Amino acid sequence: MLGEKDVDNEDCVIEQYPMQYSASTCPELSNWLRGASDSGEAPGFIRAIADAALLAGLNDYAFLRPLLLELLRDAGSWPGRGVS
């Protein structure tokens, strides 16, 4: 069709990890995600992203993981951030 381009799926890979993580197996984020999802003191946006990550499949989690790591770095301002 007009305007369509051939896209090679290999060009669309967001990030390759030696091991694919899920929310429950991610060493940096698993505790924080559970804490953020369950915390009544975490901002609504953080709880919503944590809930989405906990439900995400491997490919979707790989897409969310860089954002989650950045949010974790900035989350120190709310109590109960769940990091251990």
Condensed to tens digits (0 to 9), the pLDDT of residues 55-72 reads 999 999 999 999 998 888
Q: Is residue 47 part of a domain?
A: yes
Q: Is residue 1 part of a domain?
A: no
Contacts of 37 (CB under 8 A, 6+ apart): 47, 50, 51, 54
CA–CA dist 31, 34 (Å, integer): 5
Number of domains in the chain: 1
Neighbouring CB atoms inside 10 A of 39's CB total 17
More confident residue, 84 or 50: 50
List pLDDT tens digits, range 6-31: 444 455 445 554 567 899 898 888 88
Q: Is residue 15 part of a domain?
A: no
Q: Is residue 14 part of a domain?
A: no
Which domain covers residue 39, as residue numbers? 20-74
Query: pTM of the full predicted structure?
Result: 0.64
Report the pLDDT value the prediction gives residue 82, as an integer from 0 to 100. Answer: 45
Report the pLDDT value the prediction gives residue 10, as an integer from 0 to 100. Answer: 52
Q: Is residue 63 part of a domain?
A: yes
Tokens of 73: 């770095």
Tell me the three-class secondary structure of 12-52, residue by residue: HCCCCCCCCCCCCCCCCCHHHHHHHHHCCCCCHHHHHHHHH
